[in-house]
Amino acid sequence: MSAATKMFCFQCQETARGEGCTVRGVCGKTPEVAALQDLLIWLLKGISFWAVRGRRHFAIEDQQTDLFVAQALFSTITNVNFDPDRFVGWIREAVSRRDALRIQVEDVCRTTQRNGEACVMRPPEAAVWTPRSYETHALQVKGRTVGVMADPNLDPDIRSLRELIVYGLKGMAAYLDHAHVLGEMSKTIPAFIEEALDATTDESLSAEALVNLVLRTGEMGVEAMRLLDEANTTHYGHPEPTQVNLGVRPGPGILISGHDLRDLEELLEQTRGTGINVYTHGEMLPANAYPFFKQYDHFAGNYGGSWWHQHQEFESFGGAILMTTNCLVPPKESYKHRLFTTGHVGWPGVQHIPDREPGGSKDFSPVIEAALRSGEPKPLEEGTIPIGFARHTVMSSVDHILDAVQRGEIKRFVVMAGCDGRHRSRVYYTELAKALPKDHVILTAGCAKYRYNKLDLGTVAGLPRVLDAGQCNDSYSLVYIALKLQAALGLEDINGLPISYDIAWYEQKAIIVLLALLALGVKHIRLGPTLPAFLSPGVRDVLVKHFDIRPIGTVEEDLASIVQGI
């Protein structure tokens, strides 16, 4: 890293100049936090070295450390945590957990050697390095030596593939943590996360081997999505078609944003009878479709749009705001005193709600008190929008849908899922939605839907032309629907379905969705508004050759291709 380069990060779609943030993150991440995140990820690779060998050779399992690896990865996703003190704490815990695991593996290894068997360990530096001090500046100095560009001589394709794997793992880790919060856990997913992290330090792996690992990451991504889908639907029921109120009610309010449904459950329970109305924001919108949450009379509907409108919408809301997962942007001073974070989210100086104790609930009383001190929300809009078209709802009407397809009433489905963002070029998704023929149905999940979900696009075959499956966390519904339609139509190739893919991405959960689609063999995916900066020219060529991944074009060009089924 040159003297002029204070940091290097290119994991999100809005990275500076489409190349990489080198002075300060476009997201608001400082060079200091970037260095701490780089150090944490490096140490997680060190933990993974011992976890993989302990599991493979000696049946050593440490499920708490496995979970820590996933949660620490989650903390480094774009727009999750900007608080250096929190990262120092995670780094300290990473070293402690790594060393405990290392001692355990080395002790068993020595015993094995005494029994006459070879036990050779050649750990990388990340598996043995210990800081002389946990003073923040000292950790940052080390972090700047182990980041993405630590080895300027590394083959660009190898670097690109390693980062693609790591970013896919970050998205997978988020899904795993969300499932764990609801009591659902997997042994295979954490084991794979550690195996893949360890592989990114293996200098012997070729580009071909890493490409294969990319596809395996996608396969495990599908499993992580399935696990989270099971957790959500087991606890809260299957989402059902719902018209969500966009207006406001009299009285104080709390706006809850992010993705964590258990946080929403506990907040609703703790605000019963207080006179406070609870509104969803951003990716929490789909919670309005779960049967469980409809028991709460003070669950008032949705306020605002996607994450990047926070400054205007949080200001206008006037009440308390709770951020449960990623999508936080640098807060304005004017509402910072009524903003709260919880889970892995953090911003310096913003009050954080601690995690729940085992068997208990989080204490949201500071949020409630702030809401009672604040004014009523100012109305932004009126009306309703339809949501709740996840896999269970869609598949319950599959015969009707197939009949509509065979009659030609529905010609094509267009998957316009993924993330929203600030780029002006994202108006493409609004204009494409408007331009699609009336016999084309949009399948969506994630905050990309805010580009068109409030348009009046009408209905076809008795269905809304925008079928909203939920959060980006609910992308399994789109995978499930495609696989079930493939089986129902007796197709050998998933690409024979009347489905086009026009995906918008911003952060790493969208990357694991992309890798999941590739692992399923889906081709001809349009990706935008720009291709990831971390894809080297060589890796882009591989993805184009094998999967025909392409950047979005003009609305007119892409519309013509979609209508023709190309």
CA distance 507 to 399: 36
Residue 261 and residue 284: Cα distance in Å, rounded? 8
pLDDT reported for residue 57:
84
Which pLDDT belongs to residue 2? 56
pLDDT tens, N- to C-terminus, the chain (566 residues): 555 679 999 999 999 999 999 999 999 999 999 999 999 999 999 999 999 999 988 889 999 999 999 999 999 999 999 999 999 999 999 999 999 999 999 988 888 765 555 566 789 999 999 999 999 999 999 999 999 999 999 999 999 999 999 999 999 999 999 999 999 999 999 999 999 999 999 999 999 999 999 999 999 999 999 999 999 999 999 999 999 999 999 999 999 999 999 999 999 999 999 999 999 999 999 999 999 999 999 999 999 999 999 999 999 999 999 999 999 999 999 999 999 999 999 999 999 999 999 999 999 999 999 999 998 999 999 999 999 999 999 999 999 999 999 999 999 999 999 999 999 999 999 999 999 999 999 999 999 999 999 999 999 999 999 999 999 999 999 999 999 999 999 999 999 999 999 999 999 999 999 999 999 999 999 999 999 999 999 999 999 999 999 999 999 999 999 999 88
Task: Quote the pLDDT of residue 437.
Answer: 97
Nearest to 502 by CA among 464, 446, 423: 446
328 by Cβ neighbours in 10 Å (0-12 / 13-18 / 19+) ranks as: buried
Assess contact for 347 and 337: CB atoms under 8 A: no
pLDDT of residue 34: 98
Q: What is the pLDDT of residue 84?
A: 98
Which run of H or of E encompasses 253?
strand 253-257
Element (H, E) at 85: helix 84-114
> Which of 229, 234, 236 has the alpha carbon at shortest distance from 178?
229
Q: What pLDDT score was predicted for residue 462?
A: 94
Amino acid, res. 288: N
Instruction: From 74, 178, 59, select the one nearest 475 (Cα to Cα).
Output: 178
Q: What is the per-residue pLDDT across 8-22, written as a single tens digit (0 to 9) for each?
A: 999 999 999 999 999
Sign of dihedral through CA atoms 20, 26, 28, 30? positive
Tokens of 177: 């943590």
- Residue 119: its pLDDT value, please? 67
Domains of the chain (ranges, CATH numbers) = 1-150 (1.20.1270.20), 242-373 (3.40.50.2030), 398-564 (3.40.50.2030)
Amino acid letter, residue 157: D
The span from the first CA to the last CA of the chain, in angstroms, equals 43
Q: Which two tokens stand for residue 56?
A: 């493979």
Q: Identify whether the C-beta of residue 324 lies closer than 8 Å to the C-beta of residue 343.
A: yes
